[in-house]
Amino acid sequence: MDKVNTKGEFLSLEGLRSKLIYYLNKLVKGLNDEEVQFRLYTTLKILSIPTLFLIIISSFVAVLLKLDLYYFEAHGLIGEVKALEGAFYEYLFNELSDYLPYVAIFFIFLVFMAMYVADMFIRPFRAIGDYCEARSKGEKASYDPEFFADLKLLTQFSDLFFVSIEQMFEKNKMEPFQVPEKYTKIHKPVFEKAFFIQFSLLVFMAVICTSVALFVMGVELNDSMIQLALSTISPTKAMLAFFKKQTEIFTMYIGGGILLHTLLFSFLSLNLYQSVATPAFGIFATMRSFLKGNYSSRVHLIGYSYLRSHCRKLNKYLDYIEKNLVHNQTGKHSTIKDSE
C-alpha cells in the first residue's frame, strides 16, 4: 500500500513538474515575441514617470524630516530630538503602510491602461496583417478598421487599396490605377489629430490621477509631521514661522514636480506617437507605389520589429497579387489562385 502511495506521489510530482516546465516555456516564448516586448516596453515607459515622481516626493519628505530634526537640535532641544526622531519614523512607516494598498491599486490601473494604449498602437497594423494573411490564402476576408480609434490616413488608403485590388481580381487583370491627388502630395508622416488626442486623453488621465494623488499624499504627510512635532515639543513663534515657510516651500516643490511630471508625459506621448506614425507612413507609401505600377515595392521597416509579423503578411499579399495578377497579365501565369 505504501509503495502505491509513493508511486502516486511520484507521478503527481512529475505531472506538476511537467506542467511547470510547459508554462515556463510558454512564458519564455511569449516574452520573446516582439509584439509582447513592445507592450511591456510601452508599459514600463508609462509607469516610469509616476514611479520617478513618487521617489522624488518621498526623498524630499525625508529631507524635510532631517531638516526639522537639525532645526530642533540647533535650538538646544537635543533630548526632544531623540524622542521625536523615533516618533517621526514610526509615524511615517504607519502612514506609508496605510497608503500602500491605494498605491498598488493605482499602479495596477496604470498597467492595464498602458497595455491598452500599446494595443491601440498595434491594432491598425494587425487589421491590415489579418486581412492580407486571409487573402494570401485565397480565403474571404473583410477589412473593417474602427473609425476614430485608428490612423485615418493608413486605414482610409488601405481600404482604397484593398477594394481596388479586389476589383482587379474580379476582372482577372491588373489595370492602371489613378491614385487620388490628395494622396500623391503626401511625402512624410502626417499628424493624426484624432488618434493622437484619443491616446493622449488616456495618458493625461493618468497624469491627473497621479498628480492629485501624490499632491494630497505629500501635503498630508508634511502637515502630519508638523502636527506631530508641535504636539511633542513646546513651539515658539520662530518655530511656527519656520514650519509655515517649510509648508510653502513644500507646496511650491510639489507644484514644480507636477509641472515636470506633465512635461515628461507630454514628451512621452510624442515619442509613442512617432513609434506609430512613421511605420504607418511607410506602409501607406508602399501601397501607393504598388498601385502606381511599381510592383516590386515591399515594406521594409527598420527599428520597428514589433510590426514585423504584420508587415510580413502584407509583403506576402503583395507577392500573391504580383504572382496572380501582374505575371498572369504578362503571360507568365495563366490561373488565379483565388478560392472566392
Do residue 182 and residue 196 come from a single domain? yes
Burial class (CB in 10 A: 0-12, 13-18, 19+), 317: buried
pLDDT at residue 80, rounded to an integer: 60
Do residue 47 and residue 125 come from a single domain? yes
Do residue 132 and residue 24 come from a single domain? no
For 267-326, write each residue's pLDDT tens digit: 888 888 888 889 999 999 999 999 988 888 899 888 888 889 999 999 999 999 988 887
CA angle (200, 201, 206) in 5-degree steps:
95
Percent of the chain residues topping a pLDDT of 70: 80
Residue 319 within any structural domain of the chain:
yes
**Residues 6+ away with beta carbon under 8 Å from 251:** 219
Residue 336 within any structural domain of the chain:
no
Do residue 187 and residue 67 come from a single domain? yes
Q: What is the DSSP string of 65-83?
A: HHHHHHHHHHTT-HHHHHH
Do residue 230 and residue 244 come from a single domain? yes
pLDDT at residue 133, rounded to an integer: 93
The structural domain count of the chain equals: 2
Do residue 24 and residue 39 come from a single domain? no
Of 221 and 156, the one with more pLDDT: 156
Residue 49 within any structural domain of the chain:
yes
64 to 68, 71, 231, 289: CA distances (angstroms): 6, 10, 18, 63
pLDDT at residue 196, rounded to an integer: 82
Do residue 14 and residue 152 come from a single domain? no
> Which of 16-25, 26-35, 108-117, 148-157 is the most confident on average?
108-117
Residue 2 within any structural domain of the chain:
yes
pLDDT at 35 over 80: yes
Do residue 11 and residue 160 come from a single domain? no
pLDDT at residue 25, rounded to an integer: 56
pLDDT at residue 148, rounded to an integer: 47
Do residue 304 and residue 242 come from a single domain? yes
Q: What is the DSSP string of 21-78?
A: HHHHHHHHHHHH-HHHHHHHHHHHHHHHHHHHHHHHHHHHHHHHHHHHHHHHHHTT-H
Do residue 65 and residue 6 come from a single domain? no
Do residue 243 and residue 301 come from a single domain? yes
Residue 340 within any structural domain of the chain:
no
pLDDT range class, residue 16, cuts 50, 70, 90: low
Do residue 50 and residue 149 come from a single domain? yes
- Domain boundaries, position 236: 33-329
Give 71's Cβ-side CA count (13 Å radius).
18
Residue 172 within any structural domain of the chain:
yes
Residue 158 within any structural domain of the chain:
yes
Helices (H), the chain: 2-32, 34-74, 78-136, 152-171, 181-184, 193-232, 237-291, 308-321, 327-329
- pLDDT average, residue stretch 67-95: 69
Instruction: Name the residue type at position 225.
Output: M
pLDDT at residue 18, rounded to an integer: 62
Residue 334 within any structural domain of the chain:
no
CA angle (298, 183, 338) in 5-degree steps:
45
SS3 (DSSP) at 119: helix
Of 339 and 12, the one with more pLDDT: 12
